[in-house]
Amino acid sequence: MDKIVRGDVIWADLGEHPGVHLQSGRRPCVVISTDKANQSSNTYNVLPGTTKQNEDDLPVHQKLMPRDISGYLGKPTIFLAEQIRTIDKKQVLCKVGHVEKESEAMHRLNNAITRQLDIED
């Protein structure tokens, strides 16, 4: 597999979490950890996604459309900044695309992360 960088859209196996409100199973995710960390660690920080369009419309939810990425995203997907996860490289199933660093889509994802973590600009 190609090296994973910030902004990559991957499919990951997030494991099973029955009875809790965590994304589980095989999911699209956006890698949000820094490239330096991605190359020097065995883990990635990701935003898990859902294709269920009835998710609560929270300011930390950001919908990406297939046109927002280079590569393949089969359906509009909502990425959930309140569920930032750390995953092991072994949980990555495949890389399917990339959100460009200077794109409006990445800007929206960054804003969602900033809101979720209450980081001042």
Domain ranges in the chain are 8-117
**What pLDDT digit, counting tens, does each position of 18-36 carry?**
777 788 889 999 999 999 9
Q: Residue 47 pLDDT more than 90?
A: yes
What does the block give as tokens for 3?
């090296």
Beta bridge partners of 92: 12
Q: What is the DSSP string of 17-66?
A: -TTSSS--SEEEEEE-S-HHHHHHSSEEEEEEEE--TTS---TTEEEE-G
Query: Does 93 score more than 90 pLDDT?
Result: yes
Is 8-117 a domain of CATH 2.30.30.110? yes
Residue 59, pLDDT score? 86
